[in-house]
Chains A and B, each alone.
Chain A
Amino acid sequence: MCTVCGCGAGETKIEGEGHAHEHVHADGTVHSHAHGHDHDHHHAHGAAAAAAHEHSHHHADGTVHSHPHVHQGEHVHEHAHAHGIGGDLDFGAGPARAHAPGLSQSRMVQIEQDILAKNNTYADANRRAFDERGIFALNLVSSPGSGKTTLLVKTIELLRDKVAIAVVEGDQQTSNDAERIRATGVPALQINTGKGCHLDGHMVGHAIERLKPADGSLFLIENVGNLVCPAAFDLGEHHKVAILSVTEGEDKPLKYPDMFRAADVMLLNKCDLLPHLDFDADLAEANARRVNPDLTVFRVSATRGEGMSAWVDWITAGLVAQGARRAESVDALKARIAELERQLAAR
């Protein structure tokens, strides 16, 4: 369940992962049966010293998959308190701060975990996978109807000859958006969140495995249209990009500050409509910067193409930086190997 708004889980559908078929036989008998596709799926999260556990998932179709997790930072401290004969009696320092007589079996267990810790572990694994392969990942967030998919299609058209692109589309229902993206010639995977209102790190981890994005490619995630919950869920992207269209209100960044704080970039879309509206673009930008002073803003019109070159240049710069970072880490690894080999040879 979404810990932000309480929307349901368990109805998430990733295209191609488990589907029902209906057969009609010649005699008119109809039978349907579900297929599940087994997916082995290993996450290695965090340091080896952290606590590890394995758990299994049972899918509705009977498929079971298990995967071990190592959670970083999930350290459990126990300290039992004995209040028996022979021990010191110290009621004031009791673990519950309000000890009742006769309840001496209790003990405190420290959890020290963020309520969203599970998601963050998946997101960290995704980010590592992106960084190791020099992939630049963006998470596009907005209200429904701000023009995210049109903007994505235009961005892809401007970039597809220069860089490999893969797209994840999140919606509650339908695969319409993924089909629009596929029409541009790049691979796209639809995730239907069912009752869910946002994508989470685990869903995107599966999407990476399915899409197998190329080294040095651009990975675009179109989140579910919602300005509240996706702000709290890290997917492992390098930047959240918030899209605000000029047919909305200038005060939206003030009404939904969490999202505009979480984003690094804001695209002010549908700017071609400005002459027909009372929308004050400067005020919208100023409101967004009140909430997030570091925000980079681009004014664009996805349908007319105005302002798109600056946005595309920003993506290209991100791809170059990501490639350089990867080269650096490869060089650092090579240097480390050379150093270890030198030490071995010296023995």
Chain B
Amino acid sequence: MHEMSLAAGVLQLVEETAVREGAQQVKLVVLEIGRLSSVEPEALRFCFAAVTHGTIAQDAALEIIDIPGAGTCLACGATVPMTEQWGECPACGGSFLQPNAGTEMRVREIEIE
């Protein structure tokens, strides 16, 4: 996916909250990014630093909480780890996996002062 604009989306949420809270500065931004969300965390870090330059979130630390992918095999019902949005069940070999974790793209919290 296109992390530059995703970073801009994060900044929008952060700025709205910071203004509402009367903050002077944003010091930390905590995101939850699932491994199945098509987001490249390193690219996101780079872009976040770029888009926050000159804003209330300039120099804010970025903490990305990595959420592993997991899903349920529709054939055998096993809960299995997933590295892509689709794949084969390691237990029964079935190819129908329903992801139920790892698709998150959320702003969890920010630290302001």
Q: Measuring CB to CB, which residues of chain A are less than 8 angstroms from any residue of chain B?
A: 1-7, 76, 78, 95-98, 103, 105-117, 228, 257-258, 261, 290-293
Contact = CB atoms under 8 A, between A and B. Distances in A.
Interface in B93-113: 95-96, 104-113
Main secondary structure, interface of A, reads: loop
B111 A106 contact: yes
Contacts of B46: none
Interface of B: 1-2, 4-6, 8-10, 13-14, 17, 20-21, 27-28, 38, 61, 63, 74, 84-86, 95-96, 104-113
B17 to A, nearest CB: 6
Contacts of A291: 85-86
Contacts of B13: 111, 113, 115, 117
Nearest to A3: B9
A2 B7 CA distance: 11
A294 to B, nearest CB: 9
A108 B28 CA distance: 9
What 4 A-B pairs come out closest when comparing CB atoms?
A: A6-B5, A3-B9, A106-B113, A293-B96
A113 B74 contact: no
Given A78-B21, A106-B27, A109-B109, A115 B85 contact: no
B72 to A, nearest CB: 12
Contacts of B4: 6
Contacts of B95: 290, 293
Contacts of B108: 110-112
A114 B84 CA distance: 20
A115 B27 contact: no
B112 A109 contact: yes
Nearest to B25: A106
A112 B109 contact: yes
Contact of A290 (B20, B63, B86): B86
A2 B5 contact: yes
Contacts of B86: 257, 261, 290-292
A4 B109 contact: no
Contacts of B61: 96, 98
A292 B97 CA distance: 9
A39 B63 CA distance: 41
29 contacts: A1-B9, A2-B5, A3-B8, A3-B9, A4-B2, A6-B4, A6-B5, A7-B5, A95-B111, A96-B27, A96-B28, A97-B63, A103-B113, A106-B111, A107-B112, A108-B109, A108-B110, A109-B21, A109-B111, A109-B112, A110-B108, A111-B13, A111-B14, A112-B109, A115-B106, A115-B107, A116-B105, A228-B1, A290-B86
A29 B5 CA distance: 44
A106 B113 CA distance: 4
Contacts of B110: 108-109, 111
A234 B105 CA distance: 15
A68 B10 CA distance: 22
A6 B8 contact: yes
Contacts of A95: 111
Contacts of B8: 1, 3, 6
Contacts of B104: 114
Contacts of A107: 111-113
A108 to B, nearest CB: 5
Contacts of B17: 76, 109, 111
Given A1-B8, A257-B84, A113 B111 contact: no
Contacts of A261: 85-86
A257 B74 CA distance: 18
Most chain A Cβ neighbours within 10 Å, of B9, B10, B14, B105 = B9
A107 B113 CA distance: 6
A111 B107 CA distance: 6
Contacts of A114: 104-106
B112 A5 contact: no
Contact of A4 (B6, B27, B63, B74): B6
B38 A258 contact: yes
A258 B85 contact: yes
B45 to A, nearest CB: 15
A302 to B, nearest CB: 28
